[in-house]
């Protein structure tokens, strides 16, 4: 995002970070050995997708897997999934996830919110 905003970045550091994220996603565990919770996984998939120059076909599997397991995600994770899908140009599935989010919103006369539990 910084690069797109015109700031100079260290491309080597960015690539190493992206490789580290892929390694975590493939292992399904954080560096401390704990399993990656669904919301953190959604954030990692989102970060991987927006940090690249263009949608990468080899990285599509992470988004596809997250999409298949979206019922496990809370609203925050599904919102990140929708953003990742949108960044890949997958507008149909992004709209599908957004529609699901809209249906699950708790709406009152004063606000709209989503129930959430942080583990």
For residue 65, tell me if it sits in a domain: yes
Q: Which residues of the chain, if any, have pLDDT below 50?
A: none
Answer whether residue 1 is part of any domain: no
Q: Which domain holds residue 57?
A: 11-113
pLDDT score recorded for residue 119 = 58
Q: Is 5 a domain residue?
A: no
Is there a domain that residue 82 lies in?
yes
Per-position b or e across 24-39, b if 16+ CB within 10 A of its CB = bbeeeeeeeeeebbbb
d(CA 89, CA 107): 30
**Helices 60-68 and 75-87: angle between axes, nearest 10 degrees:** 140
What's the CA gap between 8 and 46, in Å, rounded? 22
Q: Is 14 helix (H, G, I), strand (E, B) or coil?
A: helix
Instruction: Answer yes or no: is 2 within a domain.
Output: no
Task: Answer whether residue 64 is part of any domain.
Answer: yes
Total domains in the fold of the chain:
1
Question: Taking the model in full, what pTM does it have?
Answer: 0.88
- Whether 36 maps to a domain, the answer reads yes
118 located within any domain:
no
């Amino acid at each position: 995002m910084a690069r797109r905003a015109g700031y100079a970045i260290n491309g080597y550091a960015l690539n190493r970070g992206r490789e580290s994220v892929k390694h975590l996603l493939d292992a399904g565990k954080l560096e401390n050995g704990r399993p990656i919770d669904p919301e953190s996984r959604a954030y990692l998939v989102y970060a991987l997708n927006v940090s690249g120059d263009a949608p990468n076909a080899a990285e599509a599997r992470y988004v596809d897997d997250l999409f298949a397991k979206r019922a496990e995600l809370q609203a925050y994770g599904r919102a990140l999934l929708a953003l990742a899908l949108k960044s890949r140009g997958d507008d149909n599935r992004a709209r599908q996830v957004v529609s699901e989010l809209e249906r699950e919103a708790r709406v009152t006369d004063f606000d709209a919110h989503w129930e959430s539990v942080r583990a």
